[in-house]
């Protein structure tokens, strides 16, 4: 019988420190058994359970895109036991990955639509997956205009800085990078909180969907801006975080009413969330 709790063994291929505070590292994994990569077929927006023998398991959004083959990537914030242990692991070490888990951004519905992607802090991982996926030459024509508002507290806390610069240089994606503040006199991008920058850039709601991921305070103040721009709740999509153990809707802890964030989410429209108990 297929065991959904059994992780696929992976080798850490590289560990990159993403941020100046060294709290975020990106782990690139290669499956020890190449056939497991095919079994781990995922879609942008999903997450996986990362497994470290002797430490435990944690749910982490998949930062690589399904269009990137031969590896998977996760950006991990150092907060608890497993993540702290992982931050001291190195290339060559063996660990496990289980999944993919949960639903994904509704790519079928999003075809032919404009996308406004809004991210804050380290909640940019599945958004990175999504952007890389959409910018892939095979996919780019399926989507309309892409606007990205991405903010961090200061420039040293932005993830994937080389890629952000590369996207800035492209003409098929409108990047609006911002920081809460900076002392860097050469800072070329925006300064201001994500809600304010979203309001200032005012991406059109016409034929558009918004995907928003970030800290609760950012989401709280950005939603009214989106509403003002004309985005109805069914076209605002978010992804939730929860404490999880099984990742497959069985262990009982991550529910919002009838819905398990691990299995029925983590991606919900604002309309759906408004009908569920707000225990997140």
The residues that touch another protein, with contacts defined as CB under 8 A, are: 1-7, 9, 32, 51-58, 79-80, 83, 93-96, 241-243, 245-246, 248-255, 257-258, 263, 275-277, 279-280
67 burial class (0-12, 13-18, 19+ CB within 10 angstroms)? Answer: middle
User: Do residues 59 and 51 touch, judged by C-beta distance below 8 A?
Assistant: no
CA–centroid distance for 213 within its chain:
7
Q: Which residue, 2 or 183, is less far from another protein as judged by CB? A: 2
105-143 burial, b for 16+ CB within 10 Å, e for fewer?
Answer: bbbeebeebbbbbbbbbbbbbbbbbbbbbbbeeebeeeb
Nearest distance from residue 10's CB to another protein, in Å? 10
Closer to another protein at the Cβ: 133 or 260? 260
> Strand runs (DSSP E) across the chain, as ranges?
8-17, 24-31, 47-52, 56-61, 72-77, 94-101, 114-120, 146-152, 174-179, 190-191, 208-213, 236-239, 255-256, 259-260, 267-269
Closest distance of CB 210 from another protein, Å: 23
CB 280 → another protein: shortest distance, Å? 5
Of 202 and 250, CB closest to another protein: 250
Q: Smallest gap, in angstroms, from Cβ of residue 162 to another protein?
A: 27
Residue 92 C-beta: closest distance to another protein, Å? 11
Cβ atoms within 10 Å, residue 260: 23
DSSP letter string over 241-260? ----SSSSS-S--SEETTEE
* Closer residue to another protein, CB minimum distance, 58 or 194: 58
- Residue closer to another protein, measured from CB, 26 or 114: 26
DSSP conformation class of 7:
P
Pick 2 or 141: Cβ nearer another protein = 2
Q: In the complex, what is the shortest distance from the CB of residue 89 to another protein, in angstroms, rounded to a whole number? A: 10
Decide whether 62 or 95 has the Cβ nearer to another protein.
Answer: 95
Residue 117: CB minimum distance to another protein, A: 23
Paired tokens of 236: 């605002």
Assigned token pair, 208: 């558009």
């Amino acid at each position: 019988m297929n065991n959904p709790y059994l992780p696929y063994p992976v080798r850490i291929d590289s560990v990159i420190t993403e941020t100046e505070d060294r709290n975020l590292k990106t782990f690139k994994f290669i499956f020890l058994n190449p056939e497991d990569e095919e079994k781990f077929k995922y879609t942008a927006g999903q997450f996986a359970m990362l497994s470290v023998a002797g430490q435990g398991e944690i749910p982490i959004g998949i930062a690589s895109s399904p269009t990137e083959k031969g590896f998977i990537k996760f950006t991990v914030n150092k907060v608890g036991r497993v993540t702290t242990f992982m931050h001291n692991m190195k290339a060559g070490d063996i660990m496990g990955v289980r999944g993919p888990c949960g639903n994904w951004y509704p790519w079928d519905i999003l075809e032919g639509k404009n996308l406004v992607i809004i991210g804050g802090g380290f909640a940019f991982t599945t958004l990175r997956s999504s952007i890389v996926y959409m910018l892939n030459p095979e996919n780019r024509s399926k989507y309309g205009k892409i606007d990205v508002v991405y903010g961090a507290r200061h420039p040293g806390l932005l993830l994937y800085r080389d890629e952000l610069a590369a996207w800035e240089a492209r003409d098929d994606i409108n990047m609006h990078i911002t920081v809460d503040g900076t002392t860097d006199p050469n800072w070329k991008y925006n300064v201001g909180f994500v809600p304010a920058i979203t309001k200032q850039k005012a991406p059109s709601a016409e034929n558009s969907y918004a995907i928003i991921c970030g800290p609760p305070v950012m989401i709280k103040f950005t939603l009214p801006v989106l509403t003002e721009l004309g985005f109805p709740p069914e076209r605002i999509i978010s992804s939730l975080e929860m404490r999880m153990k099984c990742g497959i809707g069985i262990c009982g802890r991550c529910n919002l009413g009838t819905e398990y964030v691990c299995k029925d989410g983590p991606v919900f429209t604002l309309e759906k969330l408004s009908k569920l108990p707000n225990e997140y």
